[in-house]
Amino acid sequence: MSETTGGGVHLEIANRFIEQANAMIEAGDDAEAVGLAMTHAAANFTAFAAALNEGRREELGAVADEYRRLLHAYFDNRVRA
């Protein structure tokens, strides 16, 4: 898998996903269900992107580690808020 370039591009895209998730919750979808759906979609698309870019299965461990790190950091920020 290739490195993400342009530091803020992936965050801008992520914010669009969050806006969509918030709209789903406002429309009545359960927040936990939306979160689980996003996790499933992220895994599905990350696998697709890795395969498309001729990534190796072994590289997915780094993706999982980054997900876990971000999950903990965002959770800690929410709990403190």
Residue 68, CB-side half-sphere exposure with 13 Å CA sphere = 6
Q: What is the pLDDT of residue 7?
A: 63
d(CA 8, CA 51): 24
Name the pLDDT band for 29 (thresholds 50, 70, 90). Answer: very high
Name the pLDDT band for 54 (thresholds 50, 70, 90). Answer: confident
Name the amino acid, one letter, at 64: A
Share of the chain above pLDDT 70, in %: 91
d(CA 62, CA 55): 12
**57 Cβ contact partners less than 8 Å away, ≥ 6 residues apart:** none
pTM, whole model, 2 decimals?
Answer: 0.79
